[in-house]
Amino acid sequence: MNLTSTIKLNIVSESIQQQIKNLAKKYAAEIISIRHQLHANPELSYQEFETSKFIQQQLTALNIPFEIKATTGVIGLLKGKNPEKRVVALRADMDALPITEENDIPYKSTNPGVMHACGHDVHTSCLLGAAKILSELKNEWEGTVKLIFQPGEEKNPGGASILIKEGVLENPAPKNIFGMHVHTTLEKGKLSFRSGMVMASADEIYITIKGKGGHAASPHLTADTILIASNLIVSLQQLISRNNSPFNPSVLSITSIHGGNTTNVIPSEVKLMGTFRAMNEEWRYKAHELIKTMATQMVESMGAEIDLKIDIGYPSVLNNEALTVAATKTAETFVGKENVEETELRMGAEDFAFYSHKIPGCFFRLGTANIAKGITAGVHTPKFNIDEDAIEIGMGMMALLGATNAE
């Protein structure tokens, strides 16, 4: 698959655009109600059993056939005129996070310690809204839309990777794929796009340093695992900053250190955890080898042993340039050029990346903030919420991309 091939989006007629706008407005309250249902009943990654059943019920009511993949994933197939002319995929994730919600809202999470704090309830609702719109207009657009309701975006190995292994990009094979994510620093009413590199890869680092422990007053009789860990943490930062171009975004953060439990004992074991992020896949894997080599040599030279594991996570999100340019122009016709912005580079990760490395993809952002109303909390926080007027735009934009013919 040539991911850099020229792609043309034939924007649908003004008449169909207006119909999509009208239907998005008509069904917005219904889809917001669906969002409330989902938000109140969040489920963790790979445990989205009730969420999956709910989506299946919604698609059944729309007479949209579907199949189940990756245990809880729901893959709908919506056909317009000339269904074999082209296939486009629209994707939404549906898992929640292990966070206790602090919002005082009628649809607050009813599952203790679990919350839709990343907007996946919004993504799922918007895709269901788009499905409703496209189903009603199926005699007005051409081709087939594959609706991907995906589990497990928040946790390795990523639901996208599992769905791909189970054939989600086959039978029929979509020519391109679109995904949408809430953007908590972008005002409601706006959309944002970015071509090329968009988000970073994400790999998890686990290190255990083992040495001879002993009395803190006699460090010369030990292999001081605390000191070794301290040196290693600093050296890892130097390793990244001095082997990578400053023009190639990359981050290594050690986020956890555990060892010892009293003041006068040097522990025999220290555990470190962290994350490594990169935008360039070649540098990503080169850095893995540098980390392993340097860490092993340093720890062993200081008289200890090391157990190091790098858990490979999501690759970087790569937006097909031609597809994204075309989608941006489509958005400008939908919400106005003044309401379409460029998404900033982000070192966060998203498993939409797996799709974007297989077929041309476009991952864009939906503005959900409302500063005047105080709706500004970020994702992955206990007070995350959105201005729900954004749902009308989100479902409408997804429907428009589904109806637009990509060549």
Catalytic annotation, residues: 314, 388
Contacts of 169 (CB under 8 A, 6+ apart): 89, 355, 358, 359
Give dist(CA 229, CA 398) in Å, integer. Answer: 48
C-alpha dist (Å) from residue 383 to 58, 109, 125, 222: 28, 11, 20, 47
Do strands 196-199 and 265-266 pair parallel, antiparallel, or not at all (unpaired)? Answer: unpaired
Q: For residue 386, which of 31, 11, 16 has the smallest C-alpha distance? A: 31
Phi, psi angle pair for 132, to nearest 5°: -65, -45
Angle at 118 between CA 116 and CA 121, to 5 degrees: 50
The whole-angstrom distance between residue 213's C-alpha and the CA centroid of its chain comes to 42
Cα–Cα dist 206/343, whole Å: 32
List C-alpha distances in Å: 89 to 209, 335, 362: 46, 22, 11
